[in-house]
Structure 1
Amino acid sequence: MTANPNTLSLLDAARAISDGTLSSETLLQSCLDRISDREDSVGAWMQIDRDGATSLAKHPVPGPLSGIPIGIKDLIDTVDMPTGYGSPIYTGHRPAQDAACVSIIRNAGGIVLGKTVSTEFAYFQPGKTANPHDLNRTPGGSSSGSAAAVADCHVPAALGTQTAGSIIRPASFCGVVGYKPSYGYLPLTGIRPLAPSMDHLGVLTRTVKDAGFLASLLGRRPELDIRSSSNDWVPKIGFCQTPQWDHADTTTQSLLTNAVEKLGKSGANIRDINLSASFAALADAHGLAMDYEVSFTGLFDVTNHPDQVSAKFRERFDAGQQVSSRDYDDALGQAQRSRAELRNAMNTCDVLICPSAPGEAPLGLNATGDPVFNRIWTFAGVPCINVPGLTGPNNMPVGVQVIGRFGDDARVLQAAAWIQDHLV
């Protein structure tokens, strides 16, 4: 067994605990030691329940996650710890019950170690978290703390949410796997809404198989657990530069192009895929619809606590109030049509790949980066996975985004696992 159990993947840790070569107490202490060493610099956590976790680790609940510490984004309700939604308005707020996903983790034997930092209401105002690979750079958002905690080996897995690019982008910036399932695949009960028609629960882990395993438990979707999938299957991959390709820096464009060439040499059937012109406007439609829904979900906070809402949130809230219901309905219709159009565009391939973000994590902690490469897929509600493995000019992670048809998550996970194995 490794001298540093905190570096184990979720499945490796679960296997070691199950076969008796690792105790939950040893794993937890290794994670807590790492947090003690790094948290003052990284700032991934809003709260850590050391005493509660230590008590549970002594006699973990039996189950597939027995004795595994997991981080919970501070947008997700926990009955035994405050849930602040990334806002000073909710400092010390104690929900009446756990979110469904938290209850599932506890019932499966997982140990809820603490609450990870979220941007304000999962929108654009960043929290305190820094990128563990370079403390002068953003970890991305809004699942900032979850991505940083997994990347820095504080926990083997954490929960995140995505409404624009809040799982995929921080996963890319921090060099971990981020999985946003098809819309509606995982339960949102007990999660603060931002834009309900496009809110997703997802996971951050260090391997694709870890992500599928955890998601299979959260959604009671056994097909997402791809551990028994054939190792002989090789995906047909569509290289999709997307209408946003020019937003990627030249280094990222080269890295993706070279990665495609490498995957082809490894046996993948590669072809170029071009999206229809309607996808060029889909990112703007997503932003419009998101602002419109925020003007409802944020109404109480802006009305009753105007001085405790950030200028960034107020700006998007005000923009949303100017959106007409007709334009909003048109945007939703555009998203529905894009899902069908994407299925047709992918008739010769299993998955698409494109950038997860424009490049490496930007310098500075006052913003979380541009979700330009995430908006169209989130609005269409299709499954997306960030696969780490590329490195930019500043020695920072750069991810590959793997996208699939709506509801075809198992195939997307299988393809992403294959890509992860052959990308390095």
Structure 2
Amino acid sequence: MTAPNTLSATELAQRLDAGAVTAEAIVRAHLERIDQRDADVLAWSHLARDAALERARVLDRGPRQGLLHGIPMGVKDIIDSGDQPTTYGSPIYKTHRPLADAATIALAKNEGAILLGKTVTTEFANRHPGVTKNPHNPAHTPGGSSSGSAAAVADFQVVLATGTQTGGSVIRPGAFCGVVAYKPSYGHFAPAGMKANTEWLDTIGAYARTIEDIALFRAALMAMPYRPIARLDKPPRIAVCFTHHKAELSAEGTRAVNDAAALLAKAGAKVSEIDLPAPVRDMTEGQRTLSAFDGPRAHADEARRFPELLSESLKKDKLAAGAAIDYATWVAARKLGEKGRAAVDALFSDFDVILTAPAPGEAPVGLQTTGKATFNLLWTYLWMPCVTLPFTKGPTGLPVGIQLVGRQHEDTTLLDIAGWVRSAL
């Protein structure tokens, strides 16, 4: 029999319904994998072994509870869990225990999910790296800031996990680790219980190994009826967009987008190339303005009481940089976002989805940084839904993905198109 930890959530749900596997067996298989591998990957900040097994036994004794009945999940340690520690990736909170679950955890538990543990995050979901390593090669970064979640799913240590994105912290780790990652339209997953970074950008996202699992997980996290990935009536219209940062792509990053576009055209898609409108060309700096401006505000208490426990990168990139930004500059960045969203939304009369790169290329060597968010932060600023799909490999054998970007609030359409693309590739 195939090991339960290698199956998708939808496959596990089918086997649970058929009585072919138990929730306890599923949890034990994932714990065994963690015991085998996590000394090399270091994806977990806390593992709730006994609690997860007990929860599985309770579920096995009762009727099916919901969409995620018996399915283990990991949660980025920037999101509050009432029954497990939540450290936000900072020594300041090493003994912190919230009183309640964040909305996304509570909603998943309502649907029968088993919280296996908390996954490593960078410090306050910023740039200072955590300990996690890329499961394909421990000398390379897994990306950030949702490093633990992406690595755990990629390494078959958990079947589903959540992350958060302010710049590129869901999509980039997904691409580097070779899993499916989904950043919904801004605000679609309730942020209650997430440690704020930049409230106008922060977006909770999801990791899985299939598009079908993303659709299942999304329904649970939004407390709405589950609708499987639908078959398209006709091939989609795809706009290839390298953005104005094309020169920053590696050879393998450029090749992945071009090769995917050619294969999709061969499969029947109408493929064209677009340049983004003028307002968007200024949005890279605007996103950084918004992100930095919130730094001294989001971390005011930590900076006042525990400055010695903050990393130098947080002090420089968020606190000092944010303090230097005046109100007028911040308002201008907010207004630029509104203009950019309107300009890009108008383009969707000519195509259904944007095909672009999720990162410059494969994961860079070294663990001191988490890679560049250049090919993510623009879409985060535009509040658009994004999916990254594993596609090929780079020169050192590490995953190289592609990114699909949809129209704001049309996430269901994006996931349907992503299902078509995955099959076509």
Scaled to the shorter chain, the TM-score interval is over 0.9
Q: How does 1:120-135 map to 2 (within 5 A)?
A: 120-135=123-138
Shift of 1:416: 1.0
Q: How does 1:150-161 map to 2 (within 5 A)?
A: 150-161=153-164
- Which residue identity does 1:208 align to in structure 2? I
In the alignment, what sits opposite 2:414?
A: 412
Residues 1:311 and 1:228: Cα distance change in structure 2 (over 3 Å)? closer
Question: Distance in 2 between the 1:356 and 1:228 partners?
Answer: 22
SS of 2:294's equivalent in the other structure is helix
C-alpha contact (below 8 Å) 2:72/2:114 kept by paired residues: yes
Question: Distance in 1 between the 2:267 and 2:128 partners?
Answer: 41
Question: Distance in 2 between the 1:110 and 1:17 partners?
Answer: 13
In the alignment, what sits opposite 1:73?
A: 76
The reply on whether 1:177 has 2:180 as its aligned counterpart is yes
In the alignment, what sits opposite 1:325?
A: 327
Shift of 1:59: 2.1
The share of aligned pairs that are identical, in percent, is 38
Shift of 1:231: 4.9
Question: Distance in 1 between the 2:27 and 2:224 partners?
Answer: 28
Deviations 1:99-126 (A, max 9, x none): 1111111111110000000000000001
Q: Equivalent of 1:211, from 211, 214, 224?
A: 214
In the alignment, what sits opposite 1:43?
A: 42
SS of 2:163's equivalent in the other structure is strand
Q: TM-score, normalised by structure 1?
A: 0.97
Deviations 1:351-397 (A, max 9, x none): 00100000100100111000000111001111011111221111111
Deviations 1:175-196 (A, max 9, x none): 0011000011110000100000
SS of 2:371's equivalent in the other structure is coil
Residues 1:16 and 1:95: Cα distance change in structure 2 (over 3 Å)? same
Shift of 1:405: 1.1
SS of 2:239's equivalent in the other structure is strand
C-alpha contact (below 8 Å) 1:243/1:279 kept by paired residues: no
- Which residue identity does 1:95 align to in structure 2? P
Deviations 1:26-74 (A, max 9, x none): 1111101100000111000001010001111112162211111100110
In the alignment, what sits opposite 1:198?
A: 201
- Which residue identity does 1:138 align to in structure 2? T
- Which residue identity does 1:274 align to in structure 2? D
In the alignment, what sits opposite 1:242?
A: 243
C-alpha contact (below 8 Å) 2:256/2:401 kept by paired residues: no
Question: Distance in 2 between the 1:180 and 1:221 partners?
Answer: 17
Question: Distance in 1 between the 2:420 and 2:388 partners?
Answer: 13
The reply on whether 1:341 has 2:343 as its aligned counterpart is yes
Q: TM-score, normalised by structure 2?
A: 0.97
Question: Distance in 2 between the 1:262 and 1:174 partners?
Answer: 23
In the alignment, what sits opposite 1:55?
A: 54
Question: Distance in 2 between the 1:175 and 1:361 partners?
Answer: 10
The reply on whether 1:82 has 2:85 as its aligned counterpart is yes
* Matched length: 420
Q: CA RMSD in A?
A: 1.1
Which stretches in structure 1 are left out of the alignment for 5+ residues? none
Query: Deviation above 4 Å: which 4+ runs of structure 1?
Result: none
Question: Distance in 1 between the 2:187 and 2:256 partners?
Answer: 33
SS of 2:390's equivalent in the other structure is strand
Question: Distance in 1 between the 2:412 and 2:175 partners?
Answer: 21
In the alignment, what sits opposite 2:404?
A: 402
Q: How does 1:272-421 map to 2 (within 5 A)?
A: 272-316=273-317, 317-421=319-423
Question: Distance in 2 between the 1:110 and 1:358 partners?
Answer: 34
Shift of 1:232: 4.2
- Which residue identity does 2:205 align to in structure 1? G
- Which residue identity does 1:135 align to in structure 2? P
